[in-house]
Structure 1
Amino acid sequence: MTFVKVPNLDYKLFFSIYPLWRPTLKSCIDVPLLLQPLVDDNGLDIYLSDSTNIIDRCCTQFPLLSESNTAADFVRVLYEIIATDKSMQTNFILQMKIYELIYGVALYLNNIDIVQDVYIQISNQISNWDTKIFNYWYGDKDTTLSKLLEYEANKRRIVKNVDHNAYDPKVIKLPACKFLEHHETDR
């Protein structure tokens, strides 16, 4: 959870995911790949002082916090966010952050089917995205697509960076979340 101070009010609560696969810890925590506000049943933002059951609300709104997640559950929830969150639907940069998250997790877990699906999703949509804005954030569209196809090199880089960043003293103290394998969830 990320707490963001709102002027003249309180702290607004966000569920956030930061990748550990970037080259340095600073670049990992610079900008989250997912930042979703915690909202009440009416869709209004929840502030720290407003809620006594923040943990329950987080678990309800963000099933990613469940103790029994598989990688497939994680990907399904992220695709649902892209499909249902109005701010995502109108902002391809936010979509790309989610795709980057799915791609990175899938590569780390060696799930090439999901990696290929992310590539297909991006390649089907990229021509509709503003080129100047895309270039600012990600560089040339064709180069971005071709880099996504470098599965083995990307996987080696991601695994190396995660292994390195996971042992940083700032990270090692944090609670960890791991995906269950399919056979473990069937029990």
Structure 2
Amino acid sequence: MAIDIETKKKLAEDWQNAFPHLSLYSRNKLYKVVGPIVIGLELIKLPYDDEYRPHFVAYPLWEKNLKECFDYPFILQEFHNDKNLQYNIPYKEAGKTLLGDVVEKINIQSPIKFNGDVSIHFLLHRLNQYAEKAPMLSNKNTLSFGHFLEAKMKIALYVNNEVANEILTKIKNHRWDGDHFKVFNIDVETWLAELSEEAKNPESFFQKIQMNKAERKISKLKSSGIMI
């Protein structure tokens, strides 16, 4: 069943009021910029139900254009209540007081906090915690995990080349499943060489971030920084 425009407007207002550190990107997406990434919440409709689930998301800003940046999040996490069940929230609740329990659990369970600047070491620590629990990262030698470590390296590269090189060394020494990479037409050695070159000569990396940040939909978002 399609959700009417008025309900979507009320829903967006509810979530904007509950999370004032985020900006409304669209009626079901609230984002902010943190250094070289975009983080936030997406309210994803459940198929065949008039309910939705909030998800934490994180996207890179170092791809060659904004469309590619938002192709797929490198973090996608649902939230759970005290019974470890995912939240299924009825659209009919839009315009009413958002359940305090939902907001509380989101603030506790989000891998990256929405308010204030964050240190690079604390951010990487939270990313490590996420990687240990995320189902899609359970296999540590696949392309999915490789892209996640790549994101970690590039977040570090944005503020501290030494930390980025430490992560790069771990990536290069990791045992990857080359056959799994080939399914996606990616050669492991070529991928590693490209990461090494980007860490050595990051000018293009920074240029792409600044270009994407200058896009109108990104430039209007609230933002915070990553500290060394």
TM more than 0.5: yes
Q: Which residue of 2 aligns with 1:15?
A: 56
Q: Does 1:26 align with 2:74?
A: no
Distance 1:47 1:94, change over 3 A: farther
Gaps of 5+ in 1: 182-187
Q: Does 1:104 align with 2:154?
A: yes
Distance 1:118 1:37, change over 3 A: farther
Structure 1 window deviating more from structure 2 (10-19 vs 38-47): it is: 38-47
Q: Does 1:132 align with 2:194?
A: no
Structure 1 window deviating more from structure 2 (163-172 vs 51-60): it is: 51-60
Q: Which residue of 2 aligns with 1:74?
A: 123
Secondary structure of 1:149's aligned partner: helix
In 2, distance between residues paired with 1:71 and 1:79? Answer: 12
Task: Point out the structure with the larger strand share.
Answer: 2
The question of whether the paired residues in 1 share the 8 Å contact of 2:157 and 2:163 is answered with no
Please list every run of at least 4 consecutive aligned residues from structure 1 whose deviation after the TM superposition is greater than 4 angstroms.
Answer: none
Secondary structure of 1:12's aligned partner: strand
Task: Point out the structure with the larger helix share.
Answer: 1
Secondary structure of 2:210's aligned partner: helix
In 2, distance between residues paired with 1:48 and 1:173? Answer: 28
Q: Which residue of 1 aligns with 2:34?
A: none
In 2, distance between residues paired with 1:161 and 1:96? Answer: 21
The question of whether the paired residues in 1 share the 8 Å contact of 2:159 and 2:226 is answered with no
Q: Which residue of 1 aligns with 2:132?
A: 83
Q: Which residue of 2 aligns with 1:152?
A: 200
Shift of 1:98: 1.9
Secondary structure of 1:18's aligned partner: strand
Structure 1 window deviating more from structure 2 (164-173 vs 82-91): it is: 82-91
Structure 1 length normalisation: TM-score? 0.82
Secondary structure of 2:175's aligned partner: helix
CA RMSD of aligned residues (A): 2.2
In 2, distance between residues paired with 1:174 and 1:138? Answer: 35
Shift of 1:14: 1.0
Match of 1:56 among 99, 104, 115: 104
Q: Does 1:6 align with 2:46?
A: yes
In 2, distance between residues paired with 1:141 and 1:112? Answer: 23
In 2, distance between residues paired with 1:165 and 1:138? Answer: 26
Shift of 1:122: 5.2
Shift of 1:63: 4.6
Structure 2 length normalisation: TM-score? 0.69
Q: How many residues align?
A: 177
Shift of 1:133: 2.6
Gaps of 5+ in 2: 1-40
Q: Which residue of 2 aligns with 1:94?
A: 144
CA offsets 1:139-172 (integer angstroms, 9 cap, x no match): 111111122211132x212210111110101111
Give runs of aligned pairs for residues 156-175 of structure 1, distance below 5 A: 156-175=203-222
